Amino acid sequence: MSAYNMYVFGKNGLLLHYSEWNRKRRSNMTLDEEAKLMYGSLFSLKNFCRKVSPLDFKDGFMCYKTTSYMLSVLETLTGLKFVINTDLNLSGTRSLLEKIYSEVFVEYVVKNPMWQIGQPIQSELFKTKLHEVVNQHVASVQRS
């Protein structure tokens, strides 16, 4: 059970942060291009879901599964997107993303006076805390 990688996007689609844990395959493009492709596809995916949904599309959580990985997206009301790729057996990604937003992003990015809104995150503290929370989650799922 593991998490592969994670993207954080600002509301205009800029990649604010990228982390990876044990990613097995590189795509044949630069991180920058990959992030743009990812954001673009999420944007379309959301519109797609809104149209396909038989009832009113309510909150921003969405996840898809392929044969080998699962992608989960949490969009906040302010337009930030938290995207995590995990393997198929990792459960509770929604609560994980919510936790990352409220306990890591808000605490170590929003409350950091050096961060300019909408700019990529430089803070090392954010990275360490993020890794801590994700590893903790993976470990707790493994135990249960």
Judged by CB under 8 A, does residue 59 bind another protein? Answer: yes
Beta strands 62-65; 15-20: pairing state = unpaired
The alpha carbon dihedral of 111, 94, 68, 137 has a sign of: positive
Contact region for another protein (CB under 8 A) — 11-19, 43-51, 117-125, 129-137?
Answer: 43-51
Nearer to another protein, 64 or 107 (CB): 64
Among 10-18, 65-73, 105-113, 114-122, which window interacts with another protein (CB under 8 A)? Answer: 65-73
Q: Note whether 38 binds another protein by CB under 8 A.
A: yes
Q: In which residue are the tokens 């135990």 written? A: 143
Least Å from the CB of residue 89 to another protein? 13
CA end-to-end distance (rounded Å), the chain = 12
**Closest listed residue to residue 93, CA positions, set 140, 44, 37, 36:** 140
Q: Which two tokens stand for residue 31?
A: 């991180």
Q: Is 144 in the site for another protein (CB under 8 A)?
A: no
DSSP helix/strand/coil, 113 = coil
Q: Does 68 bind another protein (CB under 8 A)?
A: yes
In the complex, the residues that contact another protein under the rule CB under 8 A are: 4-5, 20, 23-25, 27, 34, 37-38, 41, 44-45, 47-59, 61-69, 71, 85, 87
